[in-house]
Amino acid sequence: MKIAIGADHRGFQKKEELKPFLKKQGHEVADVGAHSSESCDYPEIGHRLALTVARGDAERGILVCMSGIGMSIVANKTKGIRAALCHNLKFARLSRQHNDANVLVLSAEDLTEPMEAVVDAWLKTPFEGGRHERRVKQIGEIEERQCK
């Protein structure tokens, strides 16, 4: 799977730790920045990653910033993106099972379980469909109305 990955300066180190983990699992990694721990603004990086996933240039995306909140907000401004801030395995799995999240957002400072385990669970958990498919479709319909 091709995975886009991005972070601001506060998430840079975690992003760098994730890249070899993902590659070892056989994933192709597209790094959209930041490329150093020098202070930068997260909105452009979050938007760049969201566009990469929305266009289909990557199947999924992972964003990291200090809290994860800002990256979640900016990613979810892009049509077709369902970004979920997940601090643990339970919510990583639920974001995939129930919401078909295509972008995982992580806090660089507040994960309650090991980062690699959270990412692994998110990548391996399938979307359940069923009643959840109806709800994801409703989210898309709301998005369509708002983007006109």
Active-site residue set: 65, 98
> Among 66, 47, 54, which Cα is nearest to 106's?
66
Alpha-carbon span 106 to 87, nearest angstrom: 7
Place of tokens 């070892």: 24
Contact present, 103 and 62 (Cβ < 8 Å) = yes
CA angle at 15 for the pair 17 and 27, rounded to the nearest 5°: 80
- The type of residue at 105 is V
Alpha-carbon span 132 to 134, nearest angstrom: 5
Alpha helices by DSSP H, the chain: 12-24, 42-54, 69-75, 89-97, 115-124, 131-146
